[in-house]
Structure 1
Amino acid sequence: METVKVLVAAAASWVWGAVWYMTLSKPWLRAAGIECDPDGKPVGGSSPAPFILSALCMVLVAGMMRHMLTMSGITTVGGAMVTGAGIGLFFIAPWTMINNAYGMRPFTLTLIDGGYAVAGCTIMGLVLALF
């Protein structure tokens, strides 16, 4: 049951990421410095690798979050969501900001990617607590 819980939490966050980045695709592409063709699609086509890697990474994050919630004795929906939001806001988003700052990327990229980390981890916490 724990494996299913982790997989569902990862899938929920991954699907949220699809919605998030489809909604913010134009500003994200600009901020990331990705060249687009006249149709607005990235030059050079697309690869399934980022989608596969992101799904695998969501499983890793959800698995560690489940472990942290269990070890901390957090069982309520609110507690799990706050923990997830905290992981996104205080662990992942700052690390993203550091990487983007050294890469001299626009702060907009940090807001988009960090925002996804916060929302995605909050969703993971919600799903993990509901099972």
Structure 2
Amino acid sequence: MGIIAVVVAAFAGFAMGAAWYMTLSKQWIAAVGIATDAKGRPANGGSVTPFIISGIAMLMVAGMMRHILVMAGIEGAGKSALVGLGIGLFMITPWVAMNYAYADRKKELTILDGGYSVLGPTVIGLVLGFF
């Protein structure tokens, strides 16, 4: 049951990212500074590599979050989602912000990616809490 929970939670986190970035695609593209074609799509798009890396990353995050939740004896969707929120808000987003500060990235990119860094683990925790 654990592997199924991890896969479902990873898929949910990935889907949350898809919804987040599809909704905010124009803002994200502008913040990153990616060249676009006439339709506003990334000019050099089409590579599946980012999607493969994202899928693997989601499996890793969901697997570690499940491990943390089991080891801590945390059960239930609400508590698990709260753990995910905390991980995103107090671990992942500060790390993203620190890296972006050194890379001199726009603060808008930090906010956009930081938002997903909070929502993604929250959704993963929520789903894991149902199993």
TM interval, shorter chain, is: over 0.9
1:4 aligned onto 2:1: no
Partner of 2:54: 54
2-side partners of 1:64 and 1:87: how far apart?
Answer: 11
Report deviation, 1:129.
Answer: 0.7
Partner secondary structure for residue 105 of structure 2: coil
Deviations along 1:44-73, one digit per CA (max 9) or x if unpaired, are: 232000011101100000000000001111
TM-score where L is the length of structure 2: 0.97
1:99 aligned onto 2:116: no
Unaligned 5+ segments in structure 2 are none
2-side partners of 1:15 and 1:117: how far apart?
Answer: 13
1-side partners of 2:34 and 2:59: how far apart?
Answer: 27
Report deviation, 1:76.
Answer: 2.1
2-side partners of 1:81 and 1:63: how far apart?
Answer: 15
Partner of 1:35: 35
Report deviation, 1:77.
Answer: 1.7
2-side partners of 1:44 and 1:21: how far apart?
Answer: 17
Report deviation, 1:79.
Answer: 1.1
Unaligned 5+ segments in structure 1 are none
Question: AA paired with 1:45?
Answer: G
Partner of 1:14: 14
2-side partners of 1:35 and 1:99: how far apart?
Answer: 22
Partner secondary structure for residue 126 of structure 2: helix
Q: Aligned pairs, how many?
A: 131
1-side partners of 2:95 and 2:45: how far apart?
Answer: 29
1-side partners of 2:22 and 2:103: how far apart?
Answer: 24
Calculate the aligned-residue CA RMSD, in Å. 0.8
Question: AA paired with 2:53?
Answer: L
1-side partners of 2:17 and 2:70: how far apart?
Answer: 25
Moved over 6 A (4+): none
